[in-house]
Amino acid sequence: MFALKGFKGATTQAIADLAGLPKANVHYYFKTKKDLYNAVLEDIVVVWKDDAEAFDTSPNPTIALTEYIKSKMHHSFTRPFGSKVWANEILHGAPVLGDEKLGAFLSAWEKRKTLQIKRWIDEGDILPVDPHHLLFLIWATTQHYADFEHQIKVLNGNKSLSRAQQIRATESVIAIILRGIGLEPTN
Amino acid sequence: MFALKGFKGATTQAIADLAGLPKANVHYYFKTKKDLYNAVLEDIVVVWKDDAEAFDTSPNPTIALTEYIKSKMHHSFTRPFGSKVWANEILHGAPVLGDEKLGAFLSAWEKRKTLQIKRWIDEGDILPVDPHHLLFLIWATTQHYADFEHQIKVLNGNKSLSRAQQIRATESVIAIILRGIGLEPTN
DNA sequence: GTCTATAACGCGATAGAC
DNA sequence: GTCTATCGCGTTATAGAC
């Protein structure tokens, strides 16, 4: 409901209906609407941390980035709601999450990734690009398939992307980004 | 206010305060809150149509894409609110704009661009990428700097990107995307 | 734990004087 | 055109029986 309607737009009544409960029971489990929303945000952050795995475990940048983009795209198609709630929260300046929590989550996590990218650059594995902007481009593009799902659907003749189209999208994104930093996509 | 708070979250009182008017006057100029919101959306669409200019007027894909990305990035930095309102509207399934208006706006406009990209591919100017996904990647990345402005700011030590950083961002994005489709960025 | 009923309040929109 | 005052409704949250 938060993904569909935003924080204010998602009424506790609608949330309760969706859960098949009387409205009062929602307030029994979560004292306030904000508490519930915070719980949803926490949930998303947990899922996203896993996607970063590939970055630290893969032997070379081609595999690392291919796998990272693949899993981000996969989550965009299978769990678009989380991405949407996150996008909505950031769009409005993280009013509920707050800057400290947002900063704590992002900084540590981003630093590890930019360092890995710098290592690849120093070793001559990829072209010298600004690591931050490479990451932003990957996040933006992969999450676009979740956040702008509706726009993509409309452009696709009002049909959600088929499984085959999802694969093609993933391959297209991987190909452009890898070539963009001087790597050749595998197969 | 719509960019900051969403449709429901932006109260007419807050809008009126921002405009320095009593609330009733807002209703004098715009009968309903929805009417005002629609006017805002119309405004954004007009701005965006101009950015597409480069696509039809440039002599080759390198210039066309460089100029297109440049103007999209420029608008993301100078007018982030429009992009945010649009993102918010799409995120929630275009409830106010409606699917017909959204489709009408997007389809005609996207078709022209994909045809141009196909022409470049057919003439061997760029690598054979799926035109739709190339466009999505460009939109997603350039608009990310507007829509996720807050996240970028937090990652930048709570400072908005300086003019120099904006230029570096634009150059980085252009370099990755052009190389991604087999073009060499100029200078 | 689950539910009905309702309190308390903020919202969009309007009435009507100026 | 501009403003104050207010209506009517939908909202979050709670009280209290079961």
Does the structure show a pLDDT above 90 at B14?
A: yes
Confidence of residue A167 (pLDDT cuts 50, 70, 90): very high
Does any domain span residue B63?
Answer: yes
> Is nucleic acid strand D under 7 Å from B24's C-beta?
yes
CA–CA separation, B168 and A128 (whole Å): 13
| Residues 6 or more apart whose Cβ sits within 8 Å of residue B133 | A168, A169, A172, A173, A176
Identify all chain B residues contacting A176, using CB atoms and an 8 Å cutoff.
129, 133-134, 137, 177, 180-181
pLDDT tens for each residue of B72-126 = 999 999 999 999 999 999 999 999 999 999 999 898 888 989 999 999 999 999 9
The predicted pLDDT at position B53 comes to 79
Does any domain span residue B24?
Answer: no
The predicted pLDDT at position B79 comes to 93
Does any domain span residue A54?
Answer: yes
Does any domain span residue B151?
Answer: yes
- The Cα of B57 is separated from the nearest Cα of chain A by a number of Å equal to 24
The residue segments making up the domain with residue B176 are 33-180
- CB-based contact B94 A154, cutoff 8 Å: yes
Confidence of residue B171 (pLDDT cuts 50, 70, 90): very high
pLDDT tens for each residue of B130-143 = 999 999 999 999 99
Nearest residue: Cα versus C1' of C10: B11
DSSP assignment of chain A = -HHHHHHHHS-HHHHHHHHTS-HHHHHHHSSSHHHHHHHHHHHHHHHHHHHTHHHHH-SSHHHHHHHHHHHHHHHHHH-HHHHHHHHHHHHTT-TTT-HHHHHHHHHHHHHHHHHHHHHHHHTTSS----HHHHHHHHHHHHHHHHHTHHHHHHHTTS-PPPHHHHHHHHHHHHHHHHHHTT-PPP-
Identify all chain A residues contacting B145, using CB atoms and an 8 Å cutoff.
136
Interchain CB contacts (distance < 8 Å): A and B: 175
Does any domain span residue A60?
Answer: yes
Does the structure show a pLDDT above 80 at A127?
A: yes
CATH number at residue B85: 1.10.357.10
Confidence of residue A89 (pLDDT cuts 50, 70, 90): very high
The predicted pLDDT at position A56 comes to 82
List the single best residue of B176, B177, B183 to mutate versus A (max A Cβ within 10 A). B176
pTM to 2 decimal places: 0.96
CA–CA separation, A109 and A26 (whole Å): 33
Does any domain span residue B65?
Answer: yes
Enter the tokens of residue B35. 């009417």
Does any domain span residue A108?
Answer: yes
Q: How many structural domains is chain A composed of?
A: 1
Between residue 26 and residue 55 of chain A, the positions with Cβ below 7 Å from nucleic chain D are 27, 31-34
* Long-range CB contact pairs, B53-57, < 8 A, 24+: B55/B112, B55/B113, B55/B116, B56/B112, B56/B116
pLDDT tens for each residue of A16-57 = 999 999 999 999 999 999 999 999 999 888 887 877 777 888
Confidence of residue A168 (pLDDT cuts 50, 70, 90): very high
The predicted pLDDT at position A103 comes to 95
The predicted pLDDT at position A52 comes to 79
Does the structure show a pLDDT above 80 at B187?
A: no
- CB-based contact B152 A172, cutoff 8 Å: no
DSSP assignment of B60-113 = SHHHHHHHHHHHHHHHHHH-HHHHHHHHHHHHTT-TTT-HHHHHHHHHHHHHHH
Does any domain span residue A1?
Answer: no
Mean pLDDT of A94-111: 91
Does the structure show a pLDDT above 80 at B172?
A: yes
